[in-house]
A and B are shown apart, each in its own frame.
Chain A
């Protein structure tokens, strides 16, 4: 492998880097604001937290539910999906999708 190193910098780049070192966070903040000018000035507000608290919220639509059920009738019972995708009519869980609670499982023997 060659010993040539990447990242040798010109004097200008060096100065820029030094400025960043003085306040790397502020430089990153400026970058973010440049990319997203409409971003809220302060992160951590209640909007963000409330979104976090609502993780997993899926809205039940009886029309979607019934359509999904109708589709199920024509197919074999599917095994529980391994990946959760965005909610569409196809993915509203139906009672068949949710596995029954299993009784206690007798596990494998100790490796001999």
Chain B
């Protein structure tokens, strides 16, 4: 499986009105959901031209838009609750409707997205415009019929899972059992049943008895793709804990602890900050997991806890810029990462609207840019190169001219095909691999 360096310019370029905060394909890849800072969810649907030809081009067009979360103010705790959508996770499709979970800092909601292409006509008691008829004028009985209508896509909230998190939710993950899901905040992880909103089980609690002793927080959590009893959570200290829910009700004690040993002589003020894991994702085959810290992507074999099996440098040239990045808070940016469908390539974002792909088998990597100016029609995306120092070659970009406000935090890969979604601040780029 070759790395897709032959990405064509965006088949779709969608401008979202607010800052994109999450991007997620559904299980077939036909739908792509984005959440934004304003609490809105926009779902795009794949439309394929020339379906029967190998060189198909797919476009993603707006399918549904809805307001998922609103800003709230918790008067009791004097806490302002942002409406920003932190994560969206799709449920596997069970019937004609689609379901997704969306969450802000405090509340998770289950949304049903359904299509309506028929409407009833011929009511006995109502006129076509909805007004009630005078019953005295009705002399006969008829059966209303369903007639075709223009397709309408409706989104309705089916469940609201609230009041279970004191701290800010950073992750949600649907279990492979399709009945439960977990939600994780800075200090706790809860297990929910999709049908039950008034109860939730706490399965991890790392809050110390004395908050002065707090040394680390939970940064991400995910269920294993096949083993419904297994989940992992990552921490701000660069560790990942794998937990088995069969072992005990409260999984404070991990089954496995993944941590790469650090050379104490290399330790600096920044060491802990840049080791904080911003994302953790299991591979599709369930044998590996990938973590993203500030400067690198690491692949871990679930059977080996003491070090990752692969490490990829995303933007090592930033190591000599840590002081400035600390001052402008960029060092706290939370980049996500994702696997391609067959786990051969991983992708993550960087600054200057760059994103990186690492081909694990071929040991090749590429830096690409998501920007309108650099996307010419009929031309594949040109790889980029950052010059860390010394002589800068033509077409290279020097570290000092990188725009740190243009960050790609959220990327997603189609579950089967070489189609990727890359979110810049408020543009969503969808690239497709060119088939020769």
| Residues of chain A having any CB pair with chain B under 8 Å | 1, 3, 5-9, 17, 20-21, 23-29, 31-33, 35, 39, 41-46, 49-50, 52-53, 55-60, 80, 82, 84, 93, 98-99, 101-102, 104-112
CA distance A50 to B214 in the complex (A): 8
| Residues of chain B having any CB pair with chain A under 8 Å | 38, 45, 61-67, 70-73, 75, 77-82, 105, 115, 150-157, 167-168, 186-187, 211-217, 236-237, 266, 268-273, 319-323, 326-327, 387, 389-394, 398
Q: What are 25 A-B contacts with C-beta separation under 8 Å?
A: A6-B398, A24-B319, A28-B321, A28-B322, A31-B323, A43-B270, A44-B236, A44-B273, A56-B81, A57-B80, A58-B78, A59-B78, A80-B71, A84-B80, A93-B73, A93-B80, A102-B70, A104-B157, A107-B155, A109-B152, A110-B45, A110-B63, A110-B153, A111-B61, A111-B62
Which of B155, B167, B389 contacts A17, CB < 8 Å? Answer: B389
Evaluate contact between B215 and A109: CB separation under 8 angstroms.
no
What residues of A have a CB within 8 angstroms of the CB of B152 in the complex? 106-107, 109-110
> A25-B271, A28-B268, A28-B321 are known contacts. Are A108 and B70 too (CB-CB below 8 A)?
no
> A46-B212, A98-B72, A111-B62 are known contacts. Are A7 and B268 too (CB-CB below 8 A)?
no
CA distance A78 to B215 in the complex (A): 43
Evaluate contact between A3 and B270: CB separation under 8 angstroms.
no
> A1-B394, A49-B217, A58-B80 are known contacts. Are A109 and B323 too (CB-CB below 8 A)?
no
Evaluate contact between B65 and A108: CB separation under 8 angstroms.
yes
Q: B399's closest neighbor in chain A, by CB?
A: A7
The DSSP consensus for interface residues of chain A is loop
Q: A5's closest neighbor in chain B, by CB?
A: B392
What residues of B have a CB within 8 angstroms of the CB of A29 in the complex? 268-270, 322-323
Evaluate contact between B157 and A9: CB separation under 8 angstroms.
no
CA distance A106 to B155 in the complex (A): 6
What residues of B have a CB within 8 angstroms of the CB of A52 in the complex? 186, 217
Q: B106's closest neighbor in chain A, by CB?
A: A56
> A50-B211, A53-B187 are known contacts. Are A28 and B320 too (CB-CB below 8 A)?
yes
Evaluate contact between B323 and A28: CB separation under 8 angstroms.
yes
Q: How far is the CB of B430 from chain A (nearest CB, A)?
A: 15
What residues of A have a CB within 8 angstroms of the CB of B64 in the complex? 107-108
For the A-B complex with A7-B387, A98-B72 known, give 5 more contacts whose Cβ atoms are closer than 8 Å. Answer: A20-B320, A29-B269, A43-B272, A49-B236, A50-B211
CA distance A80 to B115 in the complex (A): 31
Q: How far is the CB of A80 from chain B (nearest CB, A)?
A: 7
Q: How far is the CB of B44 from chain A (nearest CB, A)?
A: 10
The DSSP consensus for interface residues of chain B is mixed
CA distance A112 to B319 in the complex (A): 50
What residues of A have a CB within 8 angstroms of the CB of B186 in the complex? 52-53
What residues of B have a CB within 8 angstroms of the CB of A41 in the complex? 269
CA distance A20 to B327 in the complex (A): 19
Which of B61, B151, B211 contacts A46, CB < 8 Å? Answer: B211
CA distance A57 to B79 in the complex (A): 5
Evaluate contact between A49 and B270: CB separation under 8 angstroms.
no
What residues of B have a CB within 8 angstroms of the CB of A42 in the complex? 269, 272
> A46-B211, A46-B215, A101-B70 are known contacts. Are A57 and B78 too (CB-CB below 8 A)?
yes
Q: B401's closest neighbor in chain A, by CB?
A: A6
CA distance A8 to B321 in the complex (A): 19
Evaluate contact between A26 and B323: CB separation under 8 angstroms.
no
> A7-B387, A32-B326 are known contacts. Are A105 and B66 too (CB-CB below 8 A)?
yes
Evaluate contact between B398 and A98: CB separation under 8 angstroms.
no
CA distance A7 to B390 in the complex (A): 5
Q: B392's closest neighbor in chain A, by CB?
A: A5
Which of B67, B78, B273 contacts A60, CB < 8 Å? Answer: B78
Which of A35, A46, A56 contacts B79, CB < 8 Å? Answer: A56
Which of A21, A55, A105 contacts B168, CB < 8 Å? Answer: A55
What residues of A have a CB within 8 angstroms of the CB of B327 in the complex? 32, 35
CA distance A15 to B38 in the complex (A): 49
Evaluate contact between B105 and A56: CB separation under 8 angstroms.
yes
> A52-B186, A59-B78 are known contacts. Are A104 and B272 too (CB-CB below 8 A)?
no
CA distance A18 to B7 in the complex (A): 37
